[in-house]
């Protein structure tokens, strides 16, 4: 099997705290998929956790990035492209998407899906451990770095609840870099 990439546009945003927005949005999106026939089929094909990106800082909609199991020829993806799913009373169109090798990794909060110029985080995060200090100050401010200088904790994998998160947010072996 192969992976195909889809995006669902104009998805209504769930109003919630920024720290839990991705998980709240994912939960609402997944629950909505189970209601429609197209959504049910799509939910079975999903390969990785659905990721969301704000349309803009002032928008009430977002884009859902969906990776699906597919044949090398992309037959499944083509069957979804152009179809709509009703989410929160709004028609959301499914479109094809290119692999997101260029997805934005915010250099301020170290989270995927937005650029540092639109980051809503109150402070910076260290890419090595996810705590609120710069990478340059990591060895000064982190007690754990004095005990184990090679210890790492990926902020993205931690937020996603992944068990393997002993790498930095900028490590290209991180599953988020693979998508």
Instruction: Using DSSP, state whether 3 is helix, strand or coil.
Output: strand
Give the C-alpha separation, 49 to 116, whole Å: 23
Token couple for 117: 């110029």
Which pairing describes strands 61-70 and 51-54: parallel, antiparallel, or unpaired? antiparallel
In this structure, is the dihedral angle defined by the CA atoms of residues 45, 49, 52 and 53, taken in order, positive or negative?
A: negative
pLDDT, one tens digit per residue, over 64-120 is 999 898 887 788 999 999 999 999 889 999 999 876 555 678 888 888 877 777 788
Q: Please state which of the four CATH numbers 3.40.1800, 3.20.20, 3.30.70, 3.30.465 is assigned to the domain occupying 2-96.
A: 3.30.70
Which pairing describes strands 2-12 and 90-96: parallel, antiparallel, or unpaired? antiparallel
Instruction: Using DSSP, state whether 25 is helix, strand or coil.
Output: helix
DSSP 133: S
Give the C-alpha separation, 123 to 103, whole Å: 21
Residue boundaries of the structural domains of the chain = 2-96, 102-179
pLDDT, one tens digit per residue, over 16-64 is 888 888 889 999 999 999 998 999 999 999 988 898 988 777 889 999 9
């Amino acid at each position: 099997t192969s992976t195909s990439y889809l995006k669902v546009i104009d998805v209504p945003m769930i109003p919630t705290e920024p720290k839990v927005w991705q998980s709240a949005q994912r939960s609402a999106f997944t629950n909505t998929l189970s209601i429609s026939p197209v959504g049910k089929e799509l939910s079975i094909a999903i390969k990785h956790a659905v990721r969301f990106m704000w349309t803009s800082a002032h928008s009430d909609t977002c884009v859902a990035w969906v990776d699906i199991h597919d044949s090398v020829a992309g037959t499944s993806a083509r069957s979804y492209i152009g179809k709509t799913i009703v989410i929160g009373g709004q028609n959301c169109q499914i479109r094809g998407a290119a692999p997101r090798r260029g997805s934005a990794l915010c250099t301020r909060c170290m989270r995927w899906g937005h650029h540092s110029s639109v980051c809503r985080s109150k402070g910076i995060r260290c890419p090595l451990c996810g705590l609120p200090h710069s990478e340059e100050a990591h060895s000064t401010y982190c007690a754990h770095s004095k005990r184990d200088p090679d210890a790492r904790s990926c902020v993205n994998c931690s937020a996603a609840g992944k068990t393997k998160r002993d790498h930095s947010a900028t490590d290209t072996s991180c599953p988020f870099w693979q998508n």
